[in-house]
Amino acid sequence: YVIVYSERNENMAQRQIREVGDPLLRKKSRVVETIDDKVKQLIDDMYDTLKASDDGIGIAAPQVGVLKRVIIVDLGEEGEGGPYKLINPVITKAKGEQVCREGCLSVPGLLGDVTRPKEVTVEAINEEGKKVIIKAKDLLAICLCHEIDHLDGILFIDKATELFDADAEDEE
């Protein structure tokens, strides 16, 4: 007999990720007025969905079919850490420029070179309702910009200067 223990709790819920072509991904998300149990459940479900993805480091509510201004960024062991669970995030400062090859859970099979700010300051509310300010640079800045774009119906393929087949990239 093989007994498999899982760290997942029983309340873990993954939601289906919407993919490019779904009109909901192109809509502007609404501001979250109240952090109630529904919003907290959405955040939990989004986090579970992100963790279940192979290599995702961020997710926005529209990607799971909800037009609310909620994002999660979790770089894991990439340095800046996380997870950042942000409600109503706004970029208040942006500085510099960097080009990064991005992918997206909602755009499977494609990567693209996108120019983003090198550094950003993001103001948001956490799930406890407290205001948070994140000063981010490099990968964290890229990811925050990418996820906040989702809240305005913008996908990385709209900003990419060049697109690449993700499977071909994996073989290199």
* Pick from 34-38, 104-108, 127-131, 167-171: least confident: 167-171
Confidence of residue 59 (pLDDT cuts 50, 70, 90): very high
Q: Check whether 7 has a pLDDT greater than 50.
A: no
Confidence of residue 142 (pLDDT cuts 50, 70, 90): very high
pLDDT at site 6: 39
Q: Check whether 9 has a pLDDT greater than 60.
A: no
Tell me the pTM.
0.89
CA distance 30 to 80: 28
The percent of residues in the chain predicted with pLDDT above 70, rounded, is 88
Confidence of residue 13 (pLDDT cuts 50, 70, 90): confident
Can you tell me the mean pLDDT for 152-172? 86
Are the CB atoms for 159 and 145 separated by under 8 Å? Answer: no
Can you tell me the mean pLDDT for 106-126? 97
Residue 129 structure tokens: 């309702």
Q: Check whether 86 has a pLDDT greater than 50.
A: yes
CA distance 8 to 166: 29
pLDDT at site 1: 43
pLDDT at site 171: 52
- Going edge to edge, which strands form the sheet with 98-102? 98-102, 110-116, 162-165
pLDDT higher for 11 or 31?
31
CA distance 64 to 66: 6
Catalytic residues: 147
Q: What is the mean pLDDT of the chain?
A: 90
